[in-house]
Amino acid sequence: MAQRWHVVLLSLAAISLWATPGGMSGTGLYSSSDQVTILNRGNFYRTLYNSSNAWLVEFYAAWCGYCIDFAPTWKALANDIKEWKPAVSLAVVNCANPKNADVCRRFEVSKYPTMKFFKAFSKPSSKGKYFDNHGAASNMSSLRHSIIDSLERHGENVWPPACPPLEPISMAEVQNFYASNNVRYLALIVEQENSYLGREVILDMLQYENISVRRVLNSEENLMMKLGVQEIPSCYLYFANNTQRKITVKMPTRASYRYYLQWLPGVTRDAYKLNPVDVTHPTAAHQWRDFNSAKIYMADLESALYYSLNVEVATHQELSGKSLTALSRFIGVLTKYFPGRPFVMKSLQMTNSWLAKVGTTPVSYTDFANVLHNKNGSTRTLFPNKVNWVGCQGSRPQFRGYPCSVWTLFHLLTVQAAKYNRSMAQREEIQTDPQEVLNTLRQYVKHFFGCRECATCFEKMAEKSMDQINSLNEAILWLWSQHNEVNNRLAGAQSEDPRFPKLQWPPSDMCVECHSVVNGAHLWVTDEVLKFLKVHYSPQNMDYSYLEGLQELLKKQNPKERTQQEQQEVGLEEGERDRGIEEAERERRNEQAPVTNEEQRDISIAIQGIRRDASQRRTFIRRRHVRRGEEEDIVDLDLFVNEQYGRQALKENAENRRGSLVNDGVYRLQMHLQSIDDSESLDYAVLQSRLQKRGIGNGHLVAIAEGKRKNWLHLLGMNLSRTDISLCILLYFLSSLCLLSMYLYFKSRFRWRKWKTRFASA
Identify residue 546 by its one-letter amino acid code: Y
What does DSSP say about strands 37-39 and 88-94: parallel, antiparallel, or unpaired?
Answer: parallel
Starting at the edge strand found earlier in the chain, the sheet holding 88-94 runs 37-39, 88-94, 54-60, 114-118, 129-130
CA 220 to chain centre: 52
H/E run at residue 663:
strand 662-663
Closest by Cα among 535, 130, 77, 58 to 295: 535
DSSP, res 470: -
Looking only at the bridges linking them, the beta strands covering 619-624 and 670-675 are antiparallel
Per-position b or e across 494-522, b if 16+ CB within 10 A of its CB: eebbbbbbbbbbbbbbebbebbbeeebeb
Judge whether 64 counts as a catalytic residue.
yes
Strands 185-191 and 234-238, bridge-based pairing: antiparallel
Nearest to 373 by CA among 357, 385, 363: 385
Residue 430's CB is within 10 A of a number of other CB atoms, namely 9
Q: 605 and 705 in contact (C-beta within 8 Å)?
A: yes
**CB-count burial class (<10 Å; 0-12, 13-18, 19+) for 205:** buried
Identify the H or E element spanning 461. helix 452-465
Residue type, 691: L
Catalytic residue among 67, 104, 392, 514: 67
Q: Could you give the CA distance from residue 499 to residue 494 in angstroms, rounded to a whole number? A: 13
Kindly report the number of other CB atoms within 10 A of residue 160's CB atom.
19
Q: What are phi and psi of 319, to 5 degrees?
A: -105, 115
In angstroms, how far is the first alpha carbon of the chain from the final one? Answer: 137
Helix (H, G, I), strand (E, B) or coil at 712: helix
Do residues 65 and 11 touch, judged by C-beta distance below 8 A? yes
Nearest-angstrom CA–CA distance, 56 and 427: 60
Give the number of other CB atoms < 10 A from CB of residue 483: 18
- Residue 269 has phi, psi (to 5 degrees) of -85, 150
Asked if 191 and 215 count as a contact pair (C-beta separation under 8 A), the reply is yes
Which entry of 64, 95, 235, 392 is annotated as an active-site residue? 64
Helix (H, G, I), strand (E, B) or coil at 39: strand
Q: How do the residues of the chain divide into helix, strand and coil, expressed in percent and rounded to 5?
A: 50, 10, 35
Which positions are catalytic? Answer: 64, 67
